[in-house]
Structure formats: structure tokens, C-alpha cells
Amino acid sequence: MAVTKETLETLTNTEPARPRWLQAAIDFTRKRPLGALGAVIILLMTLIAVTAHWLAPYDALATDYGAMLASPSSQHWLGTDAYGRDVMSRIIYGSQTALIVGLGASLIGGTLGALIGVASAYFGGRIDLIVERFMDVLISFPLIILALAVVAILGTGLTNVMLAIAIPMIPRCARVVRSSALAVREMPYVDAARAAGFRDSRIVLRHMLPNVMAPYLIMVTAFLGQAILLEASLSFLGLGVQEPVAAWGLMLRGAAVEFAETAPWMAIFPGVAISLAVFGFNLFGDSLRDALDPRLRTQ
């Protein structure tokens, strides 16, 4: 069979196939540029948190009483606080606290909520009724109010703050996952698993839970920004992580009213860090929801 000139050009100009993950990232960037911007902010924040030991120009806990309330300069790019601690270093190390609390609280709240939602949908009947009414009671409280109540009972500290933020997220994730699990429960493979005599726990964990991962991932990603904001709010109120831990909410608490005019950088830069983090996670979470929602994939 003769090979035409056009065929030769096509064969010679063929580019090597890209890896699937790279092609998916390129498609996501083209279709949802705001989501890609959010992903870039998240990656930068994660990179800063991981490399904080090398990036921070000073020890975040080191005090210098000779440089108290120093304005931004070549020595301290973002100034110092009332104890002479470098604001830039504390913001860099504060990203670690924000990510640990945000990611931990989101995973705990989202995972427990997903398990409760799937189990409630699977068993149905009276169990579903009792669980959903209990979720209604929890969801009736605003996030910050319920978190304040939980941290007031458990006490302050990194772990307790993480749990206090996770508990208000459980009913919200359970409600969303349950709605998807109700449709999965009616699928033929679930009936086949029941007919095969599999235990209820196996059906829930191996057949239903993997099929509601899309709403689970969406809820976890969406809650990350709220968790970071809640951690900052609790720390600002004195019910979150405590000094001398580097945390953005604590930095805002330290920038009290008496320093608002004399050292505004103590509040401006931590506030910008919180805003950027929440903005990035919200952008990425919204775009991820649109990408994983079958009704919006064609848009």
C-alpha cells in the first residue's frame, strides 16, 4: 500500500501522548481557570508550610525586646510584634498550624459524616429517622457557636480545636453524602451483595462508600477554607491554639486595639494570609464541585 505525503506528515508530527494526570490538569486549567488559581494558591501555601524551616528568616518564637513594634524594613520585611518577634516568620510558620488544623478537621468531620450518611441511607427506617433528626439538631447551630461550645467543653489546644471544628462539619457532610447514598442503595450490585449474604458493614464500606467519593471530596475541600477561618476565629477569641504557637488568629489577637494605629502591620499581614488561604480553598472547592458534578461536566 502506497504511503501518501499527508500520511507521512501526520506520522512525523504526532506528539507523544501526555500522562493522564497531566492532561486532566491541563483540561481543568482551561475549563476552570479560577479553580486553577485556587490550586496554585493552595500549592504555594503547602510549599511554604513544608519548607518553613528554610524560608523563615527568624525563629518564630524568638523574642527581641530591642526590636519591639519595629516597622517593616530590610531586617524585618513585615515588621515585628509587641514581643519583637518577626511577623513574616510567624506568618510562614502559621501556615503549618492552619493546614494541620484545617486538613485534620476536614478529614475527621468529612469522613465521620460520610460514614454516618452512608450507614443512615443503607439501613433506612427508624435508624435513618433517628440519625437524621440528630443531624438536624446539630446543623441548626451555626458553625462558630457549636465550635465554641465544643472547645469550651474539651478545652484549648491543637487537638481539641481540631475536634471542635470537625464536629460541626459532620452533619453537613452526612446530609450531602446521604442524598447520594440513597441512589446508590437502589443499584443492582447492592441487591446482589445482599443476596450473596455479605455483611452490612462490608456492603456499606466496600460497595456504597466508594461510590459517594465525589460528594465526599467536594465537602472536604469546601470545608478546608471554613476550617482555617474557624481556627483563626477561635484563636482570636482565646479559645484556640495558645501562645507561643505561631497561628494567624493569635497574631490578630496580639494586634489588639492599642496597636491598631502604632503597628497596623501586626493585623494587616496575618489578615491577608487568612484571606488568601480561604479564597484559594473556596475557588478550588467550587471548581472541583463543578468538575465532579455530572450535571455540570458538559458546561
Q: What is the CATH number of the domain that holds 226?
A: 1.10.3720.10
pTM greater than 0.75 = yes
285-297 tens-digit pLDDT = 888 877 776 555 5
As a whole number of angstroms, the distance between CA 224 and CA 214 comes to 16
The ranges of the chain with pLDDT < 50 are 11, 298-299
| Cβ-count burial 109-148 (b if 16+ within 10 Å, e if not) | bbbbbbbbbbbbbbeeeeebeebbeebeeebeeebbebbb
Residue 276 maps to a domain: yes
Q: What does DSSP assign to residue 205?
A: I
As for how many domains the chain has, the answer is: 1
Q: Residue 80's beta-bridge partner residues?
A: 86
CA angle 222, 292, 176 (to 5 degrees): 55
Position 299 scores a pLDDT of: 47
Burial class (CB in 10 A: 0-12, 13-18, 19+), 77: middle
Position 264 scores a pLDDT of: 86
Mean pLDDT, the chain, as a whole number? 84
Residue 73 maps to a domain: no
Residue 158 maps to a domain: yes
Residue 69 maps to a domain: no
| Nearest Cα to Cα of residue 290 among 107, 114, 25, 28 | 28
36-45 tens-digit pLDDT = 899 899 999 9
Q: Residue 86's beta-bridge partner residues?
A: 80
Residue 227 maps to a domain: yes
Residues 6+ away with beta carbon under 8 Å from 152:
239
Position 43 scores a pLDDT of: 93
Q: What is the DSSP string of 231-251?
A: HHHHHHTTSSS-TTS--HHHH
Position 96 scores a pLDDT of: 93
Domain encompassing residue 137:
87-292
Residue 244 maps to a domain: yes
Residues 6+ away with beta carbon under 8 Å from 98:
45, 49, 228, 231, 232, 247, 248, 274, 277
Residue 2 maps to a domain: no
Residue 54 maps to a domain: no
